[in-house]
Amino acid sequence: MTGEIGSEFDCVFRGDIVTSSELLRDGWVAARGGIVAAIGIGAAPPSARSIDWTGNLILPGLVDGHMHTSSHLGWAGIEGATRSAAAGGVTTVVDMPYDVPQPVTDAAVLADKIGWVERTAHVDVALYGTIRKTGGVADIAALAAAGVTAFKLSTYEYDAVRFPRIDPPAMAAAFAEIAKTGLPVAVHNEDQELVERLTGEAREAGRTGAIEHARTRPPLAETLADLQIFEIGLATGAHVHIAHSSLSRGFDIAAQFRAQGGQATGEACIQYLCMTEDDLVRLGGRGKCNPPFRSAAEVERMWDSLRNDRIAYVSTDHAPWPLARKSSSDIFANAAGLTGLQSFAPLMYTLLDERGLPPSMLATYCAERPAKLHGLYPRKGALRVGSDCDLLVLQPGRFAFDEASIVDRPEFRWSPYHGRVMRARVAASVLRGALIWDGCSVLAAPGTGRFIRRQH
C-alpha cells in the first residue's frame, strides 16, 4: 500500500491495477479531491463511495499525444471528439493545431481555442502550436509561454494557410527559436516533391484505385523527410519528433541522430501496428491516411521497434471526416484521416495480447510516455499517488467493435476497425476521480474537460 490512509476517501475503485511497471491483482485506487491519494492490495479502506470492478483491469487513463479535433468542423469539433475520447478511456488528448479556418499560430488564437476547450471538452486537453507559412517565428515564444506542449510543422503542404509546407530555411529558423523554449517540435514527414511527382503521374495514367495512395507515397517519401528534419534539428539543438512513422527505419534514423548528440524521437500511430496495404484496398477511402498503410512485413518490423523500445509512444492520429469525404472510387479525391479514439484502448490491448505482451505496455506507450514527452507527467499518464485520478477500465473478453457505438457526431460514426474482434472493451473511464463513462453512456457534460498546460 502507498499513500495516506488517515481519513476517509472520496471514492475507492477496486480491480486489477496495471501500471507501467507492475500488475496488482485484487487492488484498489483511492481518490481524494480528484487526485490519487493511495493505492493498495486486498481490503479497501473506508470511503464515501466505492466502485467494484473486480476482474477488470484498471490502468491510467490514456494520453493520446496526436489527434485532430478541428480539421473538418473547426473548434466545434472539440465537443464530439472529446466525447468519443471519454468513451474510449482516453482521458487526456493533445490536439494538433491545424484547425479550420485558422491554425493555432499565435497566442490570441490559442486563447480563443482554450476558451472552446473549457466550454465544450469532455476530457482534459493539451494543445500544440504551429507557425504561419512565412513570418511566424516571432510568435513562438508567446505560444510557449501560454502553455502549448509542443509545436507542429510539416514538410508537406495540404493547405497554404491551414496546413502549410515549411521550407528548410524557415524550418531552420523556427527550430532554432523552438529550441530556446525547450519544447519538442513534431513534424509531418513526407517529401513534397516526390509525392507530387508520383501522384501526378498516377493521375495522368488514370491509376486512381486505392493502392495508388500507397504507391504515390512510398517509404522513400518518409525517409527523405526524416533525414532533413533531423539534420536541421542537429544543427539547431531542437528536439525533433517524427509525428508519425509508418516505417521501422524512421526509428532507426532517430536512434542514429541521438547517437550523434541530437534530440530525435518518433511515434507510431496504432494503424501502422496492424493495418496493411491489403486493408487499404479493402477499405478504399475509409483506409486513407498519411502516411499510408504499409506491407505486412513492415508491420512486423514496427513491432520489433516497439519491443526494442525505439518508439517514443503510440498515438491515434484521430482525424475524423464525414463519410461523404471518404467514399470516392478515386482514392485521390478522398480526405486523409481515420477515426480512432474510441477503438484505441481495446485495439492496443488486443494487439499486445495477441503477441503475448503485457498490458503494462499499454500503460507505458499510450499513457506514461506521451505524457512525459508533452510535459504533462506525472500529473497525467501515471497511476501513482499525487497524480490526477484518471482511469481506464478494461473488461477482458471478446467484443466485436461496432462503429455504430461511436459517440461522436453521426457523420463521424465510422471506423476502419468495424467488426474487428477485440479482446477487451472499455467498461469505464474516470477523469479526476469522477466517472465519465460507465460502459454505456458518457456522463461528463461539455466543459468537464480542462485545458492542461505543459508542466515543465
Given a cut of 60, whether residue 197 has pLDDT beyond it is yes
Q: What is the per-residue pLDDT across 107-138, written as a single tens digit (0 to 9) for each?
A: 999 999 999 999 999 999 999 999 999 999 99
- Section 405-428 average pLDDT: 98
Tell me which residue of 245, 248, 303, 251 sits closest to 274, measured CA to CA. Answer: 303
Q: What is the pLDDT of residues 299-311, one digit of tens each?
A: 999 999 999 999 9
Give the pLDDT mean for 217-228: 98
Tell me the pLDDT band of 176, cut-offs 50, 70 and 90.
very high
pLDDT (0 to 100) of residue 3: 56
Give which of 371, 402, 444, 456 is closest to 80, Cα–Cα: 444
Q: Does position 56 have pLDDT exceeding 70, yes or no?
A: yes
pLDDT (mean) for 359-388: 98
At residue 456, the pLDDT reads 74
In the structure, what pLDDT confidence band is assigned to residue 430 with cuts at 50, 70 and 90?
A: very high
Domain residue limits at 383: 1-456
Grid coordinates of 172: 531552420
Residue 433 has pLDDT above 90, yes or no: yes
For residue 410, say if its preceding peptide bond is cis, omega within 30 degrees of 0.
no
| Contact between residue 80 and residue 408 where contact means Cβ atoms under 8 Å apart | yes
pLDDT for the residue 7: 66
- Reading the block at residue 30, the C-alpha cell is 483511492
C-alpha to C-alpha distance for 164 and 51, rounded to whole angstroms? 48
What is residue 4's predicted lDDT score, i.e. its pLDDT?
56
Give the per-residue pLDDT at 82.
Answer: 98
* The pLDDT value given to residue 47: 95
Structural domain count of the chain: 1
Cell reading at 379: 500529473
Asked if pLDDT for residue 6 goes beyond 60, the answer is no
Residues 242-281: pLDDT tens digits?
A: 999 999 999 999 999 999 999 999 999 999 999 999 999 9
- CATH number (domain holding residue 135): 3.20.20.140
Q: Residue 5 pLDDT more than 90?
A: no
Torsion-angle region of 332 (φ positive above 0: left; ψ -120 to 50: alpha; else: beta): alpha
Per-residue DSSP letter, 404:
G
Q: Which grid coordinates are listed for 76?
A: 466545434
Residues facing 294 on adjacent strands: 276
Q: Using CA atoms, how far apart are residues 117 and 447, in angstroms rounded to an integer? A: 7
Query: Per the structure block, which three cell numbers stand in for 358?
Result: 503485457
Grid cell listed for 257: 541522430
Contact 81, 93 (CB under 8 A): yes
Q: What is the mean pLDDT of residues 172-192?
A: 98
pLDDT tens string 314-357: 999 999 999 999 999 999 999 999 999 999 999 999 999 999 99
The whole-angstrom separation of Cα 340 and Cα 64 is 10
- Mean pLDDT for 415-434 is 98
Predicted confidence (pLDDT) at residue 1 exceeds the cutoff of 70? no
Three-class SS state of 148 = coil
End-to-end CA distance of the chain: 29
* Mean pLDDT calculated for residue range 215-222: 98
State the pTM of this model.
0.97
C-alpha angle 305-309-312 in degrees, rounded to nearest 5: 95
- The per-residue pLDDT of the chain, averaged, comes to 97
> Residue 218: is the preceding peptide bond cis (ω within 30°)?
no
CA distance 389 to 56: 17
Region 83-97: what's the mean pLDDT? 98
Rounded to the nearest 5°, which phi and psi values hold at 302?
-60, -40
- 32 has a pLDDT exceeding 70: yes
- Say yes or no to pLDDT of 234 above 70: yes
Instruction: Convert the pLDDT of each residue in 224-233 to its tens digit.
Output: 999 999 999 9
pLDDT over 90, % of the chain:
98
The backbone region for 111, taken as left when phi is positive above 0, alpha when psi lies in -120 to 50, beta otherwise, is alpha
Cα-based torsion angle of the residue sequence 223, 224, 225, 226 in order, rounded to the nearest 10 degrees: 40
Q: Is the model's pLDDT at 206 over the cut of 90?
A: yes
What is the pLDDT at residue 8?
A: 86
